[in-house]
């Protein structure tokens, strides 16, 4: 069975929606950031502190390579997974779902910025806008399905995804 892969910016709900979607579909749920943390034994923020963003991106590609060899999983990626061509090719093996969200919603949901090093010590709104400028086109381009995930409870987002899957 093809993997279901969630992409989208920080705070779009990839981790949260992914967990519920997996339950609904009776599939295993895997979050690439959590897997990296488990593997390294430290948080994403600590990896950024020690190895910088480059170090994290290398670990992310390695993890995505491993996870995309599996079948029948719901995979929540990190918001930056689409920036690398190598990652994009890997993700295309699955059915890619883009959780589309406004900057306002992203901001509200990431307000604590916990374990989101790219939002630490910067103006979060400006940073989220910059990232969307760079990545928005890639999310759209890579998506097999685009689902609006702002202002809707998680179960409704999951309903829309499962209904779309039934139409395939
Ligand atoms: N549809 C939603 N409605 C309300 N809150 C949400 C929704 N999706 C996610 N959240 C909340 O937003 C925060 C960020 O969600 P998360 O799943 O970690 O996003 P991502 O993995 O895309 O960065 C979490 O606190 C989560 O509970
Ligand atoms: O947008 C990004 O570049 C990142 C998003 C984060 O994941 P979430 O999108 O799940 O917050 C995490 O991978 C890391 O902090 C970098
Ligand atoms: Mg996440």
Q: Which two tokens stand for residue 98?
A: 């883009």
DSSP calls for 74-91:
EEEPPTTGGGSHHHHHHH
Question: Which residues lie with the beta carbon below 6 Å from any ligand 1 atom?
Answer: 8, 10-16, 76, 109, 149, 152-154, 157
pLDDT tens-digit series, residues 112-147: 777 899 999 999 999 999 999 999 999 999 999 999
Please give the Cα distance from 17 to 65 (Å, whole number).
Answer: 22
Q: What CA–CA distance (Å, rounded) separates 88 from 75?
A: 14
| Residue 135 among known ligand-binding residues | yes
Q: Please determine, for the modelled complex, whether the ipTM score is greater than 0.90.
A: yes
User: According to the annotation, is 13 in a ligand binding site?
Assistant: yes
Domain map (residue ranges) of the chain: 4-166
Cβ contacts of 127 within 8 Å, gap of 6 or more: 118, 119
**What is residue 112's predicted lDDT score, i.e. its pLDDT?**
74
**57 is annotated as contributing to ligand binding:** yes
* 4-166 placed in CATH 3.40.50.300: yes
Which residue among 18, 42, 79, 109 is best mutated to probe the pocket of ligand 2, counting the most ligand atoms within 8 A of its Cβ?
79
At 41-79, the pLDDT tens digits run 999 999 999 999 999 999 999 999 999 999 999 999 999
- 138 and 8 in contact (C-beta within 8 Å)? no
Residue 84, C-beta contacts closer than 8 angstroms, at least 6 positions apart: 57, 61
The reply, when asked if residue 14 is annotated as ligand binding, is yes
Q: Interhelix angle for 14-25 vs 154-166, to 10°?
A: 50
**Cβ–Cβ under 8 Å, residues 81 and 60:** yes
Q: Which of helix, strand or coil describes residue 131?
A: helix
Cα–ligand 1 centroid distance for 94 (angstroms): 22
The H or E element that residue 2 is part of is none
Ligand 3 center to residue 9 CA distance, Å? 9
Q: Which atom of ligand 1 is nearest to the CA of 16?
A: 17
pLDDT higher than threshold 90 for residue 151: no
């Amino acid at each position: 069975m093809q993997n279901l892969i969630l992409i989208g910016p920080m705070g779009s709900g990839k981790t949260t929606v992914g967990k519920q979607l997996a339950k609904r579909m009776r599939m295993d749920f895997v979050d690439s950031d959590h897997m990296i943390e488990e593997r390294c034994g430290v948080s994403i923020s600590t990896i950024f502190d020690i190895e910088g963003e480059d170090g994290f991106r290398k670990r992310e590609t390695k993890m995505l390579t491993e996870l995309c060899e599996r079948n029948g999983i719901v995979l929540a990626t990190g918001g930056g997974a689409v920036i690398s061509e190598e990652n994009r090719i890997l993700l295309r093996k699955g059915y890619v779902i883009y959780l589309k969200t406004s900057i306002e919603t992203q901001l509200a949901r990431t307000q604590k910025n916990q374990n989101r090093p790219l939002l630490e010590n910067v103006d979060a709104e400006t940073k989220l806008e910059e990232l969307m400028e760079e990545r928005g086109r890639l999310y759209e381009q890579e998506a097999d399905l685009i689902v609006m995930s702002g202002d809707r409870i998680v179960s409704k987002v999951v309903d829309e995804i499962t209904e779309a899957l039934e139409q395939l």
